[in-house]
Structure 1
Amino acid sequence: MDWAFTPAHVADWLGAASLVAGALLSLAAAIGVLRFPDTVTRMHAATKPQVLGVLLLLLGVALRLRTLSDLGMVALVGVFQLATAPVAAQMIGRAAYRGGRLNRDLLDADELADR
């Protein structure tokens, strides 16, 4: 058996590590959304680790597929994820603030209090 490491082997191992890390971050995000008590902390769990988890999963997929058309599709998915997750989190936070479902005692600063 030949144990020589080729660039394809290294890419496969890095892809596998990225897939595992991305899956674990996505799992942590899902657990956070279920377990955290209020909207702001759930919003944090739904955006930060979830986006990084998805990007790591996409990196793992890209390292495994290695074709130009697949890489273009993976890049588009990553761009749309980066564009939509912050906007969705901002809208959820805004709706929670306006709806009174936010614990204002936990806020360090409330710039919208005088409105």
Structure 2
Amino acid sequence: MTPDAPVVEALDIAAGVLLVLGGFLSLAAGIGLNRFPDALSRLHAATKPQILGLVFVVLALALSARSGAVLLLLIPVVVFQMLTAPIAAHMVGRAGYRTGDFDAGTLITDELADDIASAGRGDLPGGEAEVPDPALAPSVEPGAEPAAEPAAGRAAGPSGKDPGPA
């Protein structure tokens, strides 16, 4: 047994612990993506534990390789992940908010609601729906039924009515 054997063994144990922790955090991120109800909740599971899990796995690889060249190859992996994950989470959050894929009851403050309402975007959550001009609405005689829309996939005949079964 060499004199530095206890140090090597301690580094191997530390690498193993970091690898297990990184795997556990990555598993927690995957479970969170499947279990959380809306996009704004899922983005936390997709970024926070996943990045920390990656850092632990990269540290475990660096400890087990014990090489400066390996460390120089692994540092950009972590740096690029730390740069791109917040941007991706921001874009997922914006898309989730714009499509209404979130539970408004879980928001503490909705900082975008005032901006959306002032923009008059009724198609977004928090926006005021625009009231259509009654003069532009199609007129229907009292007691008459409005014209039925043609069935999907079939064109209306020349009179504007459904031509019947195809």
| 1:39-58 Cα shifts (integer Å, max 9, x gaps) | 11111111111111111011
- TM-score, normalised to structure 1's length? 0.91
Write out aligned runs for 1:33-112 (5 A).
Answer: 33-112=33-112
Structure 1 residues without counterparts, runs of 5 or longer? none
State the Cα distance separating 1:11 from its structure 2 match. 1.0
Higher relative contact order (CA 8 A, sep 6+): 1
CA change 1:110–1:60 in 2 (3 A) is same
- How large is the RMSD of aligned CA atoms in angstroms? 1.5
Kindly tell me: are residues 106 and 56 of structure 1, through their superposed partners in 2, closer, same or farther at Cα, counting changes over 3 Å?
A: same
For structure 2, the 5+ residue unaligned runs are 116-166
Separation in 2 of the partners of 1:74 and 1:13?
20
Aligned residue pairs, count: 114
Spell out structure 1 runs of 4+ moving beyond 3 A. 2-5
**Do structure 1's residue 24 and structure 2's residue 31 form an aligned pair?**
no
The one-letter amino acid paired with 1:58 is V
Work out the percentage of aligned pairs sharing the same amino acid: 46
In 2, Cα distance between equivalents of 1:70 and 1:34: 34
Separation of aligned partners in 2, 1:38 and 1:15? 35
More divergent stretch after superposition (2-11 vs 72-81): 2-11
TM-score norm. by structure 2 comes to 0.65
